[in-house]
Structure 1
Amino acid sequence: MTPADYEKFRKLSPFELKDQLISLASGKAQRAMLDAGRGNPNFLATTPRHGFFQLGMFATAESELSFSYMAEGVGGLPRQDGIEARFTSFVAANKDQPGVAFLRRALSFVRDQLGLSAEGFLLEMTAGILGCDYPKPPRMLKYAEKVVRQYLIQEMAGSTMPAASTDLFALEGGTAAISYIFASLRENGLIKPGDKAAIGMPVFTPYVEIPELRDYQLQEVAINATPESGWQYPDEELDKLLDPAVKIFLIVNPSNPPSVKINDAGLARIAEIVKKRPDLIIVTDDVYGTFTDNFRSLYSICPYNTILVYSFSKYFGATGWRLGVIATHAQNVLDYALANLPEEDKLALDARYASLTPDVRGLKFIDRLVADSRTVALNHTAGLSTPQQVQMVLFSLFALMDGRNAYKTALKNLLHRRESALYRNLGINAPDDEGSTHYYTLIDMTKLATELYGRRFARWVMTHVDHETILFRIAEETGVVLLPGMGFAVRKPSARASLANLNEYQYASIGAELRKMADEYYERYKAEKKLEAENAPKE
């Protein structure tokens, strides 16, 4: 491809651009394509999956207790009476099967540590994995909500909040959560065209695109983190939130792609701002929080103002499961804002939600979210499928019972080794930002050129190499797929590499290929400088 061919792809989002880069990278059969573009992990949690499939066997046997006289494979709904005793017998008969010991421990934890009814929990999980009934309540199954919020408070708040103060809505991943939140905010008059939406940048690209859509027509205000401060948000950037025209602050924490959590000073600064802006709505996507030590979500700092979005996709290797939750505090700015809408707006909302309850004005925002996710009229069929909720519960219990954080430590070590392999073969030191998840890495092109061959070479690269199209050349010539940092609102020429979806030796190969290309550019630079010197006027 020529530079002119690259031009037509400039406006694509990084995730659409990725397909073009993959096509280029896979163009030569003799070369292996190394796709470090998308963040889908190549690791996953096996123990809770073993548990899921073993639970399915138990549940099917429970179903067959009814209509067992029929030979046509017809079962019935599971029954609570005696279910714990039957489960104990199942565990004893299958104790050597993978996942069964995990299920035994999980039931003990639910009963002995969370204080929940063992029979009630087992019945919900058994019926849930069979998928034999609608989700009830639609927002989230009763025991599922209690278990998952315990996990969230542990991982997102360091167990500093009472779990019972949090309401959850189980849904199809973090992206569905953001879509539903913006739609309900608009439908309920909490954001309107022309309002300002602050966005913590750099950020996952769709979060820049959504507020600009015709559906919302919001004015975007960039809250820029800086690499000079370890990708933290300077006070002068956060102070933009003091503008009363800013209605909502959308942030990914830890960030994507810098992969760095907000430090204690940044959290404290935002808390100070919220005291002056008690009407500010914060939406925080904390999908990468479990990859850092001592993570604290904004939800734990400013619970009244914050909607927490969490997805199980990355930490448990479950992007295909589509598992996520929205969390709001029992007392929150959203419900307060609804109560203080103009009477004209309240009357319109009374009509919108009239089919749900005679007391529309007492309907919480999170329950409006559920209804809006099914266009209100189909609220009775809302809710995440019950087998999905069961897997979510088993993931949560797996983490809650891991007192030594063995799984978390293993993943963190895995990502560290991959990052080290990439930069070791590239020939420069890996970034050492405090609070990094190491899930992604941003390769700063200027910094790379400077560290390899000095500032003069770096200046030459910035003026002689089109950094906006170099990723096409990298893909075409080396088979390495990276995403452009500018597509994530990174203001410096850079490339994002996921450290989650390839093996260690492949990251070493990526580093070596990038170094080889850098060396080629350096040879061109030296040749050009030599020619300039030879053609310089003689004194």
Structure 2
Amino acid sequence: MKADIESLNPFELNVYLEKLVGDGENETQEWLNAGRGNPNWTAAVPREAYYILGEFATTETLDHEDDIIGSKIKEKKGRVDRFQSLLEQKKSKGADFLKDVWANGEHLLGMKKEKWLTYILDYMMGDNYPYPVRVLTACEQPIQHYMHHELFGARPVPFDVFAVEGGTAGIVYLFESLVNNHLLEPEDKIALMIPTFAPYLEIPELPEYGFETEYIKAELMEIEGQASYQFSKEEIDRLRNTDIKAVFVVNPSNPTANAIYDETIEQLKGIVKTDNPDLMILSDDVYGTFLDEFTSLFTSLPFNTACIYSYSKYFGATGWRVGALALSEDNVFDKRLRELPEGKKEELDKRYGPISSSPRDLLFIDRLVADSRSVALNHVAGLSAPQQVMMALFSLYSLLDKEDSYKKKVMEMCYDRQKLLFKSLDLQLPLKALDTAYYSEIDFALWLEDKYGDSFKDFIVKHHTMTDLIAKLVQEERLMLLKAEAFGSSAWSVRVSLANLETAAYSEVGKRIVNMMDRMHKDWKNNRGDGE
């Protein structure tokens, strides 16, 4: 059994162990799964607004109340009055939010609000192919404004967005298009900044890519007297090597939950400026919204960076599959396309010729869209229209929340959970300014050493694996954690998700870990016969 479960990736291991313990109907102890990264909250207000819009859109397609077949959304006399009347009838936060959009949000819509309403109602019905295929007209500016506000700060960098089926789809599309367009070739050298989301480590190893991968590894450091997982100057300096064509990073990280330190970002800017100007940076910023102040690599290096963002975690929307890929209007990807040798340009002319009379002028972001549907089906590309409406409403909700009420509540909830967990394990809290508190990575061997001493820690490390302990926690304490080794962390690290359990449960998570290790420590002492 041990050999089998040791070979499983962390997610497969958790599924296997959960099936092993069954539904636990007769168990007195509550099942706690702190291995999942799925948040247990939802942003209720924009969702309520979404369904109000859906109700209104449906009535706008009907000529008579008893109709069962509606028409398409088109210009219709009296629509604005009917919309405002409906909002007045609805006594809810969702209706109040839509009133706020109508009264105060026109500057965020990219068009007159009356025109925007007609577009949005059409999108809500989902009865037309999404067009433009990259991102819908009435959704583009709310999404761009949101990304500027939440991720890119005050620095205005003109950029385009491609609405995608969540952040993971954005990553897949990027890798595929980089290869399809000869910006990355088989056996090219790329770098991954680790620890990182385990599947991202697996993508470059796929046989169709065959990249040579270098790993830029973070380590636990002390900054301003507190702990934070960061990259040493020596590790980052490896990116000066021009053989490294691209680097991929999740910032803030999964599983460490720490954002890259400003000094490291300045070092990266220097590397790009002086040593590796054509370095392509792929940055997944999904957790950036969980910090008061966040510096995206896209903010600091917009020319070199493709930014991937998902709405899934912050808005409790993993089932919606909504995200955006952002590229600066002036970027290294288009520059490198222009510099390709003539033979490769001719090959790409054939690839993209069916969708463009001048394929060489096709921007990289438009090639991403086309490649997402194998080029030939480019005319039916694009994220579904109703999904893009949800993205626009999430974006507007954040932008019009002048007091950052939602952001403060979400961040406070995550930090409260982290405090309870760390108190129960007697651990020092990490540096808050760089810590999202969405996950906590715990070096289990270091924790064992601090709590029980070197001898017991050495015994555990010699006779057990982290997989053993995770399995024992499931079976003895009905607690699931996630093994972090596959993320590029140490073999003795675990990830605790602070997102998917009720806040009070995180004290219990720590207690159950301590309970099991106390029993193992007691058995060890008894079997030694000489105590400590």
TM-score (norm. length: structure 1): 0.93
Report the alpha carbon displacement of residue 89 of structure 1 after superposing the two structures with TM.
2.9
- Identify the residue that residue 52 of structure 1 maps to in structure 2: 50
- Identify the residue that residue 220 of structure 1 maps to in structure 2: 213
Q: Is the 8 A contact 2:108 2:141 kept in 1?
A: no
- Identify the residue that residue 245 of structure 2 maps to in structure 1: 247
Supply the distance in 2 between the matched residues of 1:178 and 1:42 (Cα, whole angstroms).
Answer: 25
Give per-residue Cα distances to partners, 1:160-191, cap 9 Å, x unaligned.
224xx110000100111111110111110111
What is the DSSP-based 3-state SS (H/G/I as helix, E as strand, rest coil) of the residue aligned with 1:23? helix
Q: Is the 8 A contact 1:26 1:32 kept in 2?
A: no
Give per-residue Cα distances to partners, 1:411-467, cap 9 Å, x unaligned.
111111212222323344444464100101112112211222233333333223333
Letter in 1 for 2:62: E
Supply the distance in 2 between the matched residues of 1:510 and 1:459 (Cα, whole angstroms).
Answer: 24
Cα distance change, pair 476–170 in 1 and its aligned pair in 2 (3 A): same
- RMSD across aligned C-alpha pairs, in angstroms? 1.9
Q: Which moved more, 1:445-454 or 1:342-351?
A: 445-454
Supply the distance in 2 between the matched residues of 1:75 and 1:298 (Cα, whole angstroms).
Answer: 46
Cα distance change, pair 403–97 in 1 and its aligned pair in 2 (3 A): closer
Q: Which moved more, 1:463-472 or 1:24-33?
A: 24-33
What is the DSSP-based 3-state SS (H/G/I as helix, E as strand, rest coil) of the residue aligned with 2:6? coil
Identity of aligned residues (%): 38
Cα distance change, pair 19–481 in 1 and its aligned pair in 2 (3 A): same
2:143 matched to 1:148?
yes
- Identify the residue that residue 167 of structure 1 maps to in structure 2: 160
Supply the distance in 1 between the matched residues of 2:342 and 2:519 (Cα, whole angstroms).
Answer: 68
Give per-residue Cα distances to partners, 1:489-516, cap 9 Å, x unaligned.
1025111110100012322221111111
Report the alpha carbon displacement of residue 468 of structure 1 after superposing the two structures with TM.
3.7
- Identify the residue that residue 96 of structure 2 maps to in structure 1: 101
- Identify the residue that residue 11 of structure 2 maps to in structure 1: 15
Letter in 1 for 2:284: D
Report the alpha carbon displacement of residue 69 of structure 1 after superposing the two structures with TM.
9.4
Give per-residue Cα distances to partners, 1:53-73, cap 9 Å, x unaligned.
0011111122124xx498443
Structure-to-structure mapping, 1:180-191, within 5 angstroms? 180-191=173-184
What is the DSSP-based 3-state SS (H/G/I as helix, E as strand, rest coil) of the residue aligned with 2:253? coil
Give per-residue Cα distances to partners, 1:301-330, cap 9 Å, x unaligned.
000000000000000000000000100000
What is the DSSP-based 3-state SS (H/G/I as helix, E as strand, rest coil) of the residue aligned with 1:353? helix
Supply the distance in 1 between the matched residues of 2:220 and 2:270 (Cα, whole angstroms).
Answer: 24
Q: Is the 8 A contact 1:25 1:480 kept in 2?
A: no
Supply the distance in 1 between the matched residues of 2:95 and 2:432 (Cα, whole angstroms).
Answer: 41
What is the DSSP-based 3-state SS (H/G/I as helix, E as strand, rest coil) of the residue aligned with 1:282? strand
What is the DSSP-based 3-state SS (H/G/I as helix, E as strand, rest coil) of the residue aligned with 1:231? strand
Supply the distance in 1 between the matched residues of 2:281 and 2:465 (Cα, whole angstroms).
Answer: 37
Letter in 2 for 1:511: G
Supply the distance in 1 between the matched residues of 2:462 and 2:72 (Cα, whole angstroms).
Answer: 72
Supply the distance in 1 between the matched residues of 2:21 and 2:268 (Cα, whole angstroms).
Answer: 43
Q: Is the 8 A contact 2:123 2:385 kept in 1?
A: yes
- Identify the residue that residue 261 of structure 1 maps to in structure 2: 259
Q: Is the 8 A contact 1:200 1:251 kept in 2?
A: yes
Query: Which of the numbers 105, 115, 121 marks the counterpart of 1:120?
Result: 115
- Identify the residue that residue 73 of structure 1 maps to in structure 2: 69
Report the alpha carbon displacement of residue 395 of structure 1 after superposing the two structures with TM.
0.2
What is the DSSP-based 3-state SS (H/G/I as helix, E as strand, rest coil) of the residue aligned with 2:508? helix
- Identify the residue that residue 415 of structure 1 maps to in structure 2: 414
Give per-residue Cα distances to partners, 1:117-165, cap 9 Å, x unaligned.
1122111111011112111100001121111010001111113224xx1
Q: Is the 8 A contact 1:197 1:220 kept in 2?
A: yes
Q: Is the 8 A contact 1:110 1:116 kept in 2?
A: no
Query: Which of the numbers 133, 143, 152 marks the counterpart of 1:138?
Result: 133
Give per-residue Cα distances to partners, 1:243-270, cap 9 Å, x unaligned.
1111110000000000000111011111
Give per-residue Cα distances to partners, 1:85-131, cap 9 Å, x unaligned.
43223323x24244111111112333145663112211111101111
Cα distance change, pair 80–272 in 1 and its aligned pair in 2 (3 A): farther
What is the DSSP-based 3-state SS (H/G/I as helix, E as strand, rest coil) of the residue aligned with 1:228? strand
Q: Is the 8 A contact 2:195 2:488 kept in 1?
A: yes
- Identify the residue that residue 225 of structure 2 maps to in structure 1: none
Report the alpha carbon displacement of residue 82 of structure 1 after superposing the two structures with TM.
5.0
Q: Is the 8 A contact 2:21 2:474 kept in 1?
A: yes
Q: Is the 8 A contact 1:232 1:262 kept in 2?
A: yes
Structure-to-structure mapping, 1:360-509, within 5 angstroms? 360-432=359-431, 434-509=433-508
Q: Is the 8 A contact 1:78 1:126 kept in 2?
A: no
- Identify the residue that residue 537 of structure 1 maps to in structure 2: none
Cα distance change, pair 415–317 in 1 and its aligned pair in 2 (3 A): same
Q: Is the 8 A contact 1:167 1:328 kept in 2?
A: yes
Letter in 2 for 1:147: P
Supply the distance in 1 between the matched residues of 2:271 and 2:42 (Cα, whole angstroms).
Answer: 39
- Identify the residue that residue 319 of structure 1 maps to in structure 2: 318
Gaps of 5+ in 2: 223-227
- Identify the residue that residue 207 of structure 1 maps to in structure 2: 200
Letter in 2 for 1:223: I
Letter in 2 for 1:244: T
Report the alpha carbon displacement of residue 520 of structure 1 after superposing the two structures with TM.
1.2
Structure-to-structure mapping, 1:320-359, within 5 angstroms? 320-359=319-358
Q: Which moved more, 1:122-131 or 1:226-235?
A: 226-235
Give per-residue Cα distances to partners, 1:190-238, cap 9 Å, x unaligned.
1111011100100000111000101111011101000135211111111
Give per-residue Cα distances to partners, 1:9-38, cap 9 Å, x unaligned.
222221222201212344643142211111
What is the DSSP-based 3-state SS (H/G/I as helix, E as strand, rest coil) of the residue aligned with 2:529? helix
What is the DSSP-based 3-state SS (H/G/I as helix, E as strand, rest coil) of the residue aligned with 1:223? strand
TM-score (norm. length: structure 2): 0.95
Give per-residue Cα distances to partners, 1:343-385, cap 9 Å, x unaligned.
1110111111111111111100000010111111111100000
Cα distance change, pair 97–417 in 1 and its aligned pair in 2 (3 A): closer
Report the alpha carbon displacement of residue 7 of structure 1 after superposing the two structures with TM.
1.3
Supply the distance in 1 between the matched residues of 2:73 and 2:115 (Cα, whole angstroms).
Answer: 14
Q: Which moved more, 1:304-313 or 1:56-65?
A: 56-65
Letter in 2 for 1:9: I
Cα distance change, pair 526–434 in 1 and its aligned pair in 2 (3 A): farther
Supply the distance in 2 between the matched residues of 1:232 and 1:531 (Cα, whole angstroms).
Answer: 41
Supply the distance in 1 between the matched residues of 2:71 and 2:92 (Cα, whole angstroms).
Answer: 24
Q: Is the 8 A contact 2:108 2:145 kept in 1?
A: no
Letter in 2 for 1:23: K
Supply the distance in 2 between the matched residues of 1:169 and 1:113 (Cα, whole angstroms).
Answer: 18
After superposing on structure 2, the runs of 4+ consecutive aligned residues of structure 1 that deviate more than 4 Å are 112-115
Q: Is the 8 A contact 1:59 1:78 kept in 2?
A: no
What is the DSSP-based 3-state SS (H/G/I as helix, E as strand, rest coil) of the residue aligned with 2:313? coil
Q: Which moved more, 1:379-388 or 1:94-103?
A: 94-103
Cα distance change, pair 72–454 in 1 and its aligned pair in 2 (3 A): closer
Q: How many residues align?
A: 524
